[in-house]
Structure 1
Amino acid sequence: MMHRITPYLTIIRPLNALISFLSPMLILVISDASEDEVAWGIALLSGIVAAFVCAGANVINDIFDLEIDRINKPHRVIASGAMSLMAARRYYVFLTGSAVILSTWINWAVFGIVVFSVLLLYYYSVYLKRTPIWGNLTVCFFTSVNFLAGGMAFDQTEHAWYPALFTFLFQFGRELLKDVEDIEGDRVGGANTFPVLYGVRASLLIVTLSFIILSIAMYWPYHTGFYGKWYALIVLSGLMPLIVAVTFMMWRDTSALKIRRLNQLLKLAMFIGLFAIYNG
């Protein structure tokens, strides 16, 4: 039984779906509505919707990336044969359809964001992912808009802007680094990503610049008094050392294996950043 369920869990990237699920919760916790029981119910529903959209996006991405994944990541669910294309398509329809229907129970603003995100992420998988920068920006938009949608769900948008900005800047560097990791398969598959068109060195320069901008942006909420000393302590002792280490190490070794490991470190850094905001 478990071997039948495992592909359905693996293909949705559970860690990514978890981050999407927690995004509205984080906004609620740091907002003025954290004592409101109704708001918690809305946040829970918003988290489920966000996780379903994220999960569906990962499924459709693997459907359209099948040929490239056979080169870059043959262990992935569809490329390895653990799930058929037909089953993946049905799973995608279920996930995205459920997200759209559930979003109507929140409010019309969130419903509009969900519909737009589903359509944009589909277009991303079909076309934008194989273009320089635009594909990266699409993923950044989706990961950051989760926080804004969470704020809109219970009228606490003012608390969502910084988490959204942090996520957007952080994800941009990470997405471009993922393109560096996938450069060989993308080149064979005809994907015109930034590393394919302009090379690894130019890509690493942009990743470095994005992390510098991120570091400046992380100082801003503490400087303005929006977040306090615990935020600053976690950022300085946990998040910044990881970002600096990844930045230096990516210049020393650009092999696919090394970049993949650095991207795993960046996933950890993402959680540390959200933890800092939670304690802000």
Structure 2
Amino acid sequence: MSNRERIVWRIFRSKMHIALLTVFLAAFWQIYFRFPLPPSYYLMIALHTVGTSLVNALTDGREDALNAPDRERSVRPLTPIARALSLICFLVSFGIAVSAGWKVVLFGTLLNALAALYGYAIPIRTRHGTGELRFKSLLIVKNIYASFHWSVALILGMYIFADQPFDGRALIPMVILFLIAFFVELMWDIRDMPGDRLAGVNTIPVRFGEPVARVTLHLLNLATAVVGTVALLSDALPPFYWIFAANTALSAWFIEQYMASKNRPLASHFYVIYATLFLAAAVAGDLYLRSRAAY
């Protein structure tokens, strides 16, 4: 691995682009909701994302031994530095939650408990002796579990932090985000096939093969486009969200490039960066249009 590649991997493995993606996902849908969300909210979800990613790395050791060897990590998950960093992230995000009220604290605690169970191996007794239950190892359940956090939990968190009554407006963003998150999770499953197979993580590509996974990616992308188009044509979403059409075309192109790529780990991170930049551009465009309208 060259020095340039090592630097790129250090940036990717730091999870900072994942944290930024979370921030811009919330900001993107804030264009629709117009909730009174302060900067502290975005700091809280960014820190929570980094902290959760580090904790998940502790429970994913078996598959990550092959999928993400320590030499590719900027922060190794078992080191005191990683543990201290995750603790700092959670403490600061918890402090922000406390200042926002008990509802945010309760919601965050429940979310953390669910996130911790994602990769944790729960000892169980069976007819054949002792075994383990791991949600991440269950076919499709893994994808649903993770996608829930990136869709339902994210939108609910915005409502709770802004102290807004839950209404029907949340349903369309939840569905769209769920489909997109499922798409990304499946893309990562294709990337992580060697380690997942070794660790007994029963994903769609491990169980059914890459051709089925490829078709599923296209179907998820198409379903996202259909839901978004129906919502736009029925005026359930404002015209600004027609930018989804560009994302549909780009994602369809990326699927084919990704499946043919010889370096899927790198390609998967580039997709996250693309999504972050796409959302950031949309947020910047909205801010510009609003500033023009104010004059």
In the TM superposition, 1:95-244 aligns within 5 A as 95-126=89-120, 127-144=134-151, 145-154=153-162, 155=164, 157-158=166-167, 160-232=170-242, 234-236=243-245, 238-244=246-252
**Structure 1 contact 177–259 (Cα < 8 Å) conserved:** no
TM-score, L = length of structure 2: 0.74
> What is the CA-CA distance between 1:21 and the residue it aligns to?
2.7
Structure 2 CA distance for aligned equivalents of residues 108 and 133 of structure 1: 33
> What is the CA-CA distance between 1:200 and the residue it aligns to?
2.0
Q: In the alignment, residue 264 of structure 1 is paired with which amino acid?
A: F
Residue 68 to residue 256, structure 1, CA distance change in 2 (3 Å) = farther
Structure 2 CA distance for aligned equivalents of residues 118 and 256 of structure 1: 35
Structure 1 CA distance for aligned equivalents of residues 154 and 104 of structure 2: 10
The alignment yields a C-alpha RMSD, in angstroms, of 3.3
Structure 1 CA distance for aligned equivalents of residues 241 and 28 of structure 2: 14
Q: Is the aligned partner of 1:51 residue 2:46?
A: yes
SS in 2 for 1:192: coil
Gaps of 5+ in 1: 1-6, 34-38
> What is the CA-CA distance between 1:149 and the residue it aligns to?
1.0
Tell me the residue number matched to 1:94.
Answer: 88
CA offsets 1:227-266 (integer angstroms, 9 cap, x no match):
344432x233x31221221234455x3x652475256236
Tell me the residue number matched to 1:247.
Answer: 255
Tell me the residue number matched to 2:20.
Answer: 18
Q: In the alignment, residue 235 of structure 1 is paired with which amino acid?
A: F
Q: In the alignment, residue 250 of structure 2 is paired with which amino acid?
A: L
**Structure 1 contact 49–99 (Cα < 8 Å) conserved:** yes
**Structure 1 contact 132–193 (Cα < 8 Å) conserved:** yes
SS in 1 for 2:100: coil
Structure 1 CA distance for aligned equivalents of residues 276 and 24 of structure 2: 12
Tell me the number of residue pairs that the alignment of Structure 1 and Structure 2 aligns.
262
> Whose RCO is larger (CA < 8 A, sep 6+)?
2
Structure 2 CA distance for aligned equivalents of residues 22 and 269 of structure 1: 9
Residue 64 to residue 8, structure 1, CA distance change in 2 (3 Å) = farther
Residue 32 to residue 72, structure 1, CA distance change in 2 (3 Å) = closer
**Structure 1 contact 242–266 (Cα < 8 Å) conserved:** no
1:73 aligns with one of 63, 68, 71: 68
CA offsets 1:37-61 (integer angstroms, 9 cap, x no match):
xx343xx222222112211111012
Residue 209 to residue 259, structure 1, CA distance change in 2 (3 Å) = farther
Tell me the residue number matched to 1:261.
Answer: 267
Residue 274 to residue 231, structure 1, CA distance change in 2 (3 Å) = farther
**Structure 2 contact 51–89 (Cα < 8 Å) conserved:** yes
> What is the CA-CA distance between 1:272 and the residue it aligns to?
2.7
CA offsets 1:49-100 (integer angstroms, 9 cap, x no match):
211221111101222233433322224327xx85643332333233234333
CA offsets 1:107-154 (integer angstroms, 9 cap, x no match):
333323211221111111223223322222222111122232113322
TM-score, L = length of structure 1: 0.78
Residue 27 to residue 109, structure 1, CA distance change in 2 (3 Å) = farther
Structure 2 CA distance for aligned equivalents of residues 8 and 265 of structure 1: 17
Structure 2 CA distance for aligned equivalents of residues 161 and 121 of structure 1: 22
